[in-house]
Each structure stands twice: as structure tokens, then as C-alpha cells.
Chain A
Amino acid sequence: MVNKARSDYFDVPLLTWGTVTDETISGLIKLAARENAPNPRYLAAISDIGELILCDKDGSKIYGPVGPFTGHGSPDELSVNTSGLVLIRSGTSLALINADGTVRWNKTGVDAITNLKAAKIGSNYVCTVIGTGAKATSGVQWRSLTDGSIVQDVYGLANDPSTYYAWGAIAVSQTGDRAAIVYNTGSSGGYCYSYLEHHHRTSGRLWSLALMTQSITTVILSKVAVDKDGGYTIVASKYGAEGTSSGTCFCMVYDSTGLLLGTPWSNATLSYFGVCMAPDGKQAGTYRDTTLDRIVLVPYSSSTTTLAAKGKGIDITDDDLYYTVGCEDGKLYIYRVDGYAMGNTPYGGASTPIATVRNYT
């Protein structure tokens, strides 16, 4: 049995599948990413031991596998921007990888970023989330692509974030000027709160809202995705680590002002979940254990289509037909905008994260 990082294509007119790149890697793909921009180009994937591969939108390999980079043997977050720069976060270590696979900068060891909780890259900035436990010194910190130095320090959060409960997540706009973050407060009387906030590089904290009160005594796992403007936001959260079954969970969709558009699911018992957003913000998707949901956001609505395939990986293409790609254990599925199942193919292996783009020829 050999682990592969694979780029597969689905030919829309012919309804056929094929493989372009099939690279043997160490470890299983743990994270996959595309840039949050119109007509995205880059597909990045990193294995659970830190080997990175970058593919173009025609599936061809740009570089890889490279790594693991120092301090990134167990990556936690992966993102790529419109220039093909890849950002890897592993705990408090943060590395920016050039478009040729070389390291531009790597803050690890003694240079690791204190209290770093989450990080994503935009075309102009790296957005990091700093959580000190005090609201005044926590929030989004914008950093330079050139050397990782701080361009704009935190504006502060609306509430004291927990230093114990797992930090949620960050999703950033195309440029990296605007970010959506999820964090949890400390326990108060057996309850803690999850908050969703939007922060802007020059405007500061735009808004903050309480997502849910949870009677939680362990980690809260959150995931968030935004459109290219950092506006439309889909957020999901659950009690317990990835793979741990829990009945305390929710998934909600907001517009750029924090208006709740809909709740695709909540309080189901599940172990795995994920969210994605089309760059134009008109459609979003989620998976949870055995279900793929496609959510129509625009205009100001949220209608959910439950698709047949199982979860553990989802993405939506950036075009009028919003092809939704999902996977179950061992099969990839493609759905058209109307929910029609275009086809599926076995890929071998268990659940996998995926990232999807369209290649116009």
C-alpha cells in the first residue's frame, strides 16, 4: 500500500475521470487548500508528516513533495494565495513557502509566534490569530509576506478568549485585509461561549456575535470559510476533537454584516464536519459524517440541498454551475448546481480532504 497525493480531473462533457498527477508521499494527505479568489488556480496539499505538494489548475505538479519543513512535521493549517505562496501553521510555528517550494521564512523554535492560534494567507498579508487569554491583547495580527513581520497588530476581541479550550479558526479574504475568526471564551458556571468576529486591517473589529452557549469541559472544534471579500461566512463548531462523536454542534451562515442567513444543521450527533465557500459567496457547502449539504446564500437566503454522498471532504467550484465535489470513504462525487449527481469515481483509501478548481480550456 502506497500513499499518494493525487490530482484527479472530471471531464464535464464526457463525464469521465482521469488522473494527472500521482505522487508517492509519506503520510496521508491531512489538509488541502485552494486560494480564495475568483477562478482559483493553485491546489495545495500537505500530509500528516508535513510533505507538501502544489499543483496547477490543470492538475500538473508545480513542485513537491517537499518537506517536512523544520517545525512542521505535524501541520495544523494550510492555505495558499493567488501567487502560489503557501502558508503552513503547526502549533505556534508558521512557515511561508515560495511558489517554487523553497522556504521564504519559517518562524519556529525560538522564533515561533507566541500565542499563535490560527493563520491563513491572502494575496497581500498573512493573517494570524493571537490568543493571550485577555481580550485587549488578542485578535487578528496582519503580517508581511516578505519576512513575516507585523504590519498591523491586534485590535482586540470583544471577550476574553479561553486559554484552555481549542481555538476556533480563521478564514481570510482574497487580499488578506479582512478575516473572520471563531474563538471560545473560558468556562463560566460550566458554560462557555463561541464567538464569530470579523476584523479588518484598517477598520479594526467590525462586529462580534455569540454563536452558541455550550456546556463544555473539553475542546471545541470550529471551522470557518468566507468568500473572496471576507463577507459571506459559513461557520461550524462541535464539541470534541476531530473524529470524536458529539451531539453538540452547529453550522450557521452569515452575511458580511453578521445577519444570520440560515442554519444548515445543528445538534446532530457527528464526528466529522467541514465547511467551504465559493469565492463569489453565492454558494457554500458543508459535510458532516454521512451528509453533504449545499447551501444557496444569495440573495439573502439559505436553502439547503442534502446530497447523497457521504462527507469528510467538500469544495465548491467558482463558476455559474457551482460544481460541488465531495468524497466518502473511497469515492469522489461531483454534483451540479441543481443537485444532479454528475458522477463518481473510486480513488482508493479512506477519507481525504480535497480542494477543487475548474480548468477552462
Chain B
Amino acid sequence: MSEDRGSDYPQVSYIRKSPFFRGVKQTPNPETPPPPTEAMANMVVHGARTYDPLPARRIVTVHEAPLTYPMTYASRRTVGHGARPDYDRGSWTKIMIIHSAVV
């Protein structure tokens, strides 16, 4: 909708994939917060043809989204072990059996 009109400024998809924001590389570590951004009122992309200030501001706020994505429990394990999540889930597991033995 309104996002499509401003095609001469970076699209949402481009922004989210870039590790840089205004020349500052965003940290991939979610423990470390990203550098402080400017006040919301100044967050207008210069030169953008904004027919309506609201969509532009909404797009700018995309910059504030964390550049690392929250990882699911399964994907985190996949990264750590290089195994398929379902089998990996088992890899943290012991099967316990109670039974009789004569020794």
C-alpha cells in the first residue's frame, strides 16, 4: 500500500537484511543493545517522497528492529550441532527404563 509509493528509499526488506544502520554496524549479539537512535521526531528519511508522514515514520522505525532474529529452541540447537532439529531434540535426551536384573 503506502509503502510501495516511496520506492526511492530503502525498502523494508533491504533494511532488515543490512547489518549497517547509518554506517554503524549493528551488533548481532542480542545481549548488547544497539546504539541509541535519534528522537522519533527526526526519524524521517531525507529525500523520500512522502505523501503521508505516517508511513514514512513507520518505515523508519524498522531501523529500530533488532538485526538479529529471535532463534527458536530448535534452530539454536541446529546451529550448535548441525543436526536436524527433531533428531537433535533427541540428542539431549536419555531414555530411562526400569526393569528387573539378576546379577
Contact A356 B94, beta carbon cutoff 8 Å = no
Query: Contact between A352 and B90 (Cβ–Cβ < 8 Å)?
Result: no
Please, how many angstroms separate the alpha-carbon atoms of A62 and B79 in the complex? 36
Q: Which of B22-78 contact A (CB under 8 A)?
A: none
Given contacts A6-B98, A45-B98, A320 and B86 within 8 Å (CB-CB)? yes
**Which residues of the other chain, B, contact A9 by a CB distance below 8 angstroms?**
94-97
B96 near A57 with CB under 8 A, answer yes
Which of B96, B101, B102, B103 has a CB less than 8 Å from the CB of A356?
B96
**Assembly CA distance A171 to B90 (angstroms):** 29
Q: What's the count of A-B pairs with C-beta under 8 Å?
A: 122
Interface positions of B from 77 to 103, Cβ below 8 Å from A: 86-87, 89-103
A1 vs B103: C-alpha distance in the bound complex, in angstroms?
A: 5
Task: List 7 additional contacts besides A356-B95, A356-B96, A359-B95; criterion CB under 8 Å.
Answer: A2-B102, A5-B98, A5-B100, A9-B97, A13-B90, A32-B99, A360-B93
Chain A's closest residue to B92 (CB) is: A361
Inter-subunit contact A327/B91 (CB<8 Å): no
The residue on A at minimum CB distance from B103 is A348
If A321-B86, A321-B90 touch, whether A334 touches B95 (CB-CB below 8 Å) is yes
Known: A320-B86, A321-B86. A12 touches B94 (CB 8 A): yes
Interface residues on B, range: 10 to 19
> Are A350 and B102 in contact, with the CB atoms below 8 A?
yes
Residue A357 is within 8 A (CB to CB) of chain B in the complex: yes
Residues of B within 8 A of A232 (CB): none
Residues of B within 8 A of A10 (CB): 94-95, 97
With A320-B86, A321-B86 as known contacts, state yes or no: A359 contacts B102, CB within 8 Å. Answer: no
CA A63 – CA B95 in complex, angstroms? 20
CB contacts (< 8 Å) of A44 on chain B: these are 98
Tell me if A353 is interfacial: C-beta within 8 Å of chain B.
yes
Q: Which of A1-38 contact B (CB under 8 A)?
A: 1-13, 20, 22, 28-29, 32
Interface of B is mostly: strand
Structural contact, B102 and A353, CB atoms closer than 8 A: no
A283 to chain B, nearest CB (A): 15
Contact (Cβ within 8 A) B98 A332:
no
Q: Are A358 and B96 in contact (CB under 8 A)?
A: yes
Report the bound CA distance from A64 to B99 in whole Å. 14
Q: A58 in the interface, Cβ–Cβ < 8 Å? A: yes
Contact flag A355-B95 (CB < 8 Å), given A1-B103, A4-B103, A12-B90: no
With contact pairs A13-B92, A321-B90 given, residues A332 and B97 touching in the complex (Cβ less than 8 Å): yes
A55 within 8 A of B: yes
Docked-complex contact A13 and B98, CB < 8 angstroms: no
CB distance from B14 to the nearest CB of A (A): 38
* A8 x B103 contact (CB < 8 A): no
**Contact A325-B95, Cβ < 8 Å, known A13-B90, A320-B86:** yes
Shortest CB–CB separation between residue A26 and chain B, in angstroms? 12
Known contacts A320-B86, A321-B86; A11 and B100 CB within 8 A of each other: no
What 7 pairs across the A-B complex have the smallest Cβ distances?
A29-B100, A349-B102, A13-B91, A352-B100, A43-B98, A9-B94, A4-B101
7 CB contacts below 8 A, A to B, read A3-B101, A8-B99, A12-B90, A12-B91, A47-B100, A59-B96, A358-B93
**Residues on B with beta carbons closer than 8 Å to the beta carbon of A2:** 102-103
